[in-house]
Amino acid sequence: MEVLIFFVFGLILGSFLNVCIYRMPRKISIIKPYSFCPDCRNSIKIWHNIPVLSYIALKGKCAYCGAKISLRYPLVEILNGVLYVFAYLKFGLTPYILFILILISTIIVISFIDLEFQIIPDQLSIPLIFLGFILSFLSHNYEVIVSDFKQSLIGILVGGGSLLAISIISKGGMGGGDIKLNAAFGAFLGWKASLLTIFIGSLIGAIVGIVVFKKTGNRKLPFGPFLSIGALVCLFFGEKILSWYFG
């Protein structure tokens, strides 16, 4: 029952994440106006805005103008719901899970914004750093989450500093948004996981980059989404990977 609750809760919040993904990079308030069609600007009725189900019922089109609705909308909703279930199964119904759910949802918003606009808004990444630092003061038994504020600070410095060093060496090859984002991952997961995040993100990014370059000739890909995938892998499997490597 709890699994279903977390999944539905994730779907509902996923609908709000879509609002953030569309509006934040366009400097539109995420509160007002109410949801609207980007093409005809008509307000979307509540029954047209039910996560996933409305997309299926409307056959992926606006109820007013018939404009195609991006597949991103149900994808974000389902992704958020599934990851919420994983978080519940991993961390249980504890006070700490709220921090994890915020981390997951923010990662999703950041990734899709970065994919489309090649930016990572500071109003998303910087609060994550503070949130991870605050979490480090709460006592818990999860190896994958930092439980000491000193280790969280080290994670911030190593996570952000490592990408800052890469940015300096590559003369701007790494963006400031990526640096702050990995500092946030370091605050949550510690310095070892922040480095593992970079490794996993770089590996996946390199593979995807080769495929994209062969098909389109595009050499420029945002690193934020791949960094986020690395962080999610570390969040759910980091302790096993690090134990295997250092063991």
**What total number of domains does the chain contain?**
2
Residues 106 and 52 grouped into a single domain: no
Domain edge (last residue) among 93, 125, 143:
93
Domain edge (last residue) among 39, 59, 93:
93
Residue 163, pLDDT > 90, answer yes
Report, as an integer, the average pLDDT of 69-97.
Answer: 93
Residue 41, pLDDT > 90, answer no
Domain edge (last residue) among 46, 68, 93:
93
Q: Which of 63-72, 83-92, 181-190, 222-231 has the lowest mean pLDDT?
A: 63-72
Residues 121 and 221 grouped into a single domain: yes
pTM value is 0.93
Residues 70 and 161 grouped into a single domain: no
Give the confidence band of 179 by pLDDT, cuts at 50, 70, 90: very high
Residues 21 and 6 grouped into a single domain: yes
Report, as an integer, the average pLDDT of 79-87.
Answer: 97
pLDDT tens column, 110-146: 999 999 999 999 999 999 999 999 998 887 667 778 8
Q: What is the pLDDT of residue 211?
A: 87
Residues 28 and 114 grouped into a single domain: no
Residues 55 and 105 grouped into a single domain: no
Residues 153 and 242 grouped into a single domain: yes
Residues 129 and 156 grouped into a single domain: yes
Residue 171, pLDDT > 80, answer no
Report, as an integer, the average pLDDT of 179-184.
Answer: 96
Residue 106, pLDDT > 80, answer yes
Structural domain range at position 120: 94-247
Residues 48 and 142 grouped into a single domain: no
pLDDT higher at 166 or 214: 166
Residues 65 and 106 grouped into a single domain: no
Q: What is the pLDDT of residue 32?
A: 83
Residues 100 and 73 grouped into a single domain: no
Residues 155 and 60 grouped into a single domain: no
| 142 CB neighbour count, 10 Å cutoff | 15
Q: What is the pLDDT of residue 82?
A: 97
Residue corresponding to tokens 């134990």? 243
Q: What is the pLDDT of residue 94?
A: 84
3-state DSSP assignment of residue 46: helix
